[in-house]
């Protein structure tokens, strides 16, 4: 007879035997995605101890050894932060809005907070110092600087990136924000109350649940696929074709117009017609909000909602391939899934989540100053820019100067940073500055692109040096597969005095192969 454990017992057993803090939700997740067998029903679910041993022996005991075999013995495993759960890696405002290419907050903490690192008591930054992130992105450095008690300045060429960063670190009127969100939610609910698309989607979900429970029982089907007992793709494709008949009959019955009249813009191409109507409705309500801060926070909520409602498969949300307007077999969820026909549930979820995360951060925030400026780090005059926005902090900057830089520059030829939020630029008419991006995907990775990248990053460092204290510290996080950073450092009048190679364990990309990045520590020559 198999030794079976309850979910709570299983999480406790893993924590004790592997020294890896594990909660019941993580065990449930592993069962949901077929890594562990599920024995019994929902009220009395059991996990085989044999499955736990097999999974955790493979994914905990041998993980470091496997990664070092692929990436080299110089891998700094401590910087993997594998002991942190997904919830801890995306704590409070860090998950306020999706963003490709951001580093985890624990990495920033490690280098900024002298109590956390192991550099033989060497402390790079002290409370009250000023740190600079010239490639601010979604503001991870700014948020963690605030939590630690360090002032921080961010710079980003993307107006939308700057908005995300500033919303995270600014203090908000939560009561006013909550009141405005409730008002919009109520009006949206009334707007869609008699909508044919809502009734259609309710019936479609009912039919999908019946179909999936019969042909894709969870987690049994996932377990069979993971153990190669089922030809997933052939079976999935056959059932996809079978369900399309049901889908089309419901479209006819409820007279649903699926596609928009044109596909000239991002919003027209990647959103179904019922979704577009609801987006336009909320957007008009947002325009009527008088308080600028409240309006901007709600724009972020709408943007996050809109991103999740694109007409694409769940597997292709990170990298869009082609719009989808019908049901399909979903490899991510191992069942037949559908595009969305209403934003209401996502709007509700993200509204509540935003209030919760902003409130959580309010309890942690320190009385320090952080801001992200929309500008080009190669040419910005920081003294002048800060004086116009905050004269007191501007004077402090001139007197004290910046203690150092902690930043993750764009990787050459990897991401088009404006394009990843194209829906937001379409909706809110922010000014795009694609041509100012350094190392964008659209320029590729050839010699010309690499030379341009070297020139761009070194110019940023040269310009930023004007504002750095004499004993500055620079930390740049990069996957330098083309060995460009020694050249960049030289061009900037710096030298690389240390390198920390860390494994990147949690990636959103489909390619989950062993991957590392290096933290380059630079000083003046």
Average pLDDT over residues 209-232: 89
Q: Note the pLDDT of residue 140.
A: 97
The CA distances from residue 114 to 44, 107, 124, in Å, are 47, 12, 7
Instruction: Tell me the CA distances in angstroms from 46 to 17, 23, 24, 34, 174, one per residue in order.
Output: 18, 15, 12, 14, 42
Q: Report the distance separating Cα 79 and Cα 232, nearest Å.
A: 36
Cβ contacts of 397 within 8 Å, gap of 6 or more = 130, 153, 382, 383, 386, 467
Length of the chain: 525
Which residue, among 219, 211, 206, has the nearest Cα to 236 in the 3D structure?
Answer: 211
Per-residue pLDDT, 511: 52
pLDDT reported for residue 82: 83
pLDDT tens, residue by residue, 284-295: 999 999 999 999
The pLDDT, as a whole number, for residue 508 is 53
Region 324-339: mean pLDDT is: 93
Express as a percent the part of the chain with pLDDT over 90: 70
Judge whether 275 and 291 are in contact, CB under 8 Å: no
Q: What is the pLDDT of residues 1-13, one digit of tens each?
A: 568 888 888 888 8
506 vs 48: CA distance, rounded Å: 26
Alpha-helix runs per DSSP H in 366-446: 382-389, 391-400, 422-428
pTM of the model: 0.89
Instruction: Tell me the β-bridge partners of 524.
Output: 494
How much is the mean pLDDT over the chain? 91
What are the tokens at 233?
Answer: 């793709």
φ, ψ of residue 309 to 5 degrees: the values are -105, 15
Residue 494 makes CB contacts below 8 A (sequence gap 6+) with 461, 474, 522, 523, 524, 525
Q: Are 309 and 343 within 8 A, CB to CB?
A: yes
In this prediction, residues 235-256 reach a mean pLDDT of: 95
Contacts of 76 (CB under 8 A, 6+ apart): 500, 501, 502
- Per-residue pLDDT of 143-175, as tens digits, reads 999 999 999 999 999 999 999 999 999 999 999
Domains of the chain: 4-61 (no CATH), 66-159+368-418+431-524 (3.40.50.150), 174-357 (no CATH)
Report how far residue 104's alpha carbon sits from residue 137's, in angstroms, rounded to the nearest whole number: 12
Least confident of 171-180, 289-298, 401-410, 500-509: 500-509
For 379, residues 6+ apart whose C-beta sits below 8 A from its C-beta are 463
174-192 and 273-287 helices cross at what angle (nearest 10)?
Answer: 140
**pLDDT given at position 68:** 86
Q: How far, in Å, CA of 57 to CA of 137, rounded?
A: 37
What letter does residue 507 receive in the DSSP assignment?
Answer: -
Q: What are 369's two structure tokens?
A: 């100053």
The string of DSSP letters for 90-140 reads T-GGGGSS--TTPPPHHHHHHHH-TTT--STT--S--TT-EEEESS-TT-H
Residues near 450 by beta carbon (within 8 Å), at least 6 away in sequence: 412, 482, 484
Both structure tokens of 510: 């489909």
pLDDT confidence tier of residue 358, bands split at 50, 70 and 90:
very high
Q: Mind listing the pLDDT tens digit for each residue in 73-125?
A: 999 988 988 878 788 889 999 999 999 888 899 999 999 987 666 665 678 99
What's the burial of 457, exposed, middle or buried (CB within 10 Å: 0-12/13-18/19+)? buried
Residue 409 Cα distances to 151, 178, 325, 517, angstroms? 20, 35, 37, 12
- Distance separating alpha carbons of residues 340 and 307, to the nearest angstrom: 11
So what's the pLDDT on residue 45? 87
The region that residue 425 occupies, defined by phi over 0 for left and psi between -120 and 50 for alpha, beta otherwise, is alpha
Rounded average pLDDT over 36-43: 80
């Amino acid at each position: 007879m198999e030794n079976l454990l309850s979910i709570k017992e299983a999480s406790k057993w893993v924590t004790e035997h592997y020294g890896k803090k594990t909660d019941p939700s993580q065990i449930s997740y592993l069962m949901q995605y077929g890594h562990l067998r599920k024995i019994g029903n929902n009220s009395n679910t059991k996990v085989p101890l044999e499955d736990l041993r097999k999974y955790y022996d493979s994914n905990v005991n041998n993980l470091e050894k496997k990664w070092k075999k692929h990436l080299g013995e110089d891998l700094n495993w401590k910087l993997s932060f594998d002991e942190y759960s997904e919830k801890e890696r995306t704590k409070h405002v860090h998950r306020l809005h999706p963003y490709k290419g951001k580093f985890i907050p624990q990495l920033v903490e490690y280098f900024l907070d002298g109590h956390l690192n192991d550099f033989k008591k060497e402390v790079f930054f002290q409370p009250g110092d000023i740190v600079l992130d010239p490639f601010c992105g979604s503001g991870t450095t700014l948020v963690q600087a605030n939590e630690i008690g360090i002032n921080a300045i961010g710079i980003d060429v993307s107006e939308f990136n700057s908005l995300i960063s500033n919303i995270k670190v600014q203090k908000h009127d939560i009561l006013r924000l909550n009141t405005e969100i409730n008002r919009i939610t109520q009006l949206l609910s009334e707007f869609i109350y008699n909508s044919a698309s809502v009734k259609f989607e309710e019936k479609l979900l009912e039919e999908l649940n019946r179909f999936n429970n019969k042909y894709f029982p969870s987690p049994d089907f996932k377990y069979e696929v993971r153990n190669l007992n089922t030809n997933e793709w052939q079976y999935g494709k056959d059932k996809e074709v079978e369900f399309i008949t049901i889908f089309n009959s419901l479209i006819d019955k409820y007279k649903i117009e699926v596609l928009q009249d044109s596909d000239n813009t991002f919003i027209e191409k990647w959103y179904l017609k019922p979704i577009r109507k609801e987006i336009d409705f909320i957007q008009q309500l947002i325009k009527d909000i008088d308080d600028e801060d409240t309006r901007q926070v709600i724009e972020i909520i709408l943007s996050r909602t809109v991103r999740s409602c694109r007409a694409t498969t769940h597997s292709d949300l990170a990298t869009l391939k082609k719009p989808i307007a019908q049901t399909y077999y979903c490899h991510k969820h191992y069942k037949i899934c559908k595009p969305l026909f209403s934003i209401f549930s996502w709007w509700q979820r993200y509204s509540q989540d935003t209030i919760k995360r902003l409130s959580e951060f309010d309890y942690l925030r320190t009385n320090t100053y952080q801001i992200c400026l929309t500008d080009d780090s190669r040419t910005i005059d920081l003294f002048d820019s800060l004086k116009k926005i905050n004269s007191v902090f501007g004077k402090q900057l001139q007197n004290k100067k910046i203690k150092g830089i902690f930043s993750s520059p764009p990787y050459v030829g990897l991401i088009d940073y404006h394009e990843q939020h194209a829906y937001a630029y379409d909706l809110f008419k922010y000014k795009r500055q694609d041509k100012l991006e350094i190392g964008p995907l659209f320029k590729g990775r050839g010699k010309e692109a690499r030379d341009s990248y070297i020139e761009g990053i070194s110019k940023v460092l040269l310009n930023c040096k004007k504002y750095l204290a004499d004993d500055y510290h620079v930390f740049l996080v990069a996957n330098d597969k083309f060995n460009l950073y020694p050249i960049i450092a030289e061009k900037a009048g710096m030298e690389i005095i240390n390198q920390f190679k860390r494994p990147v364990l949690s990636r959103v990309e489909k390619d989950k192969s062993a991957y590392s990045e290096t933290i380059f520590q630079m000083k003046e020559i």
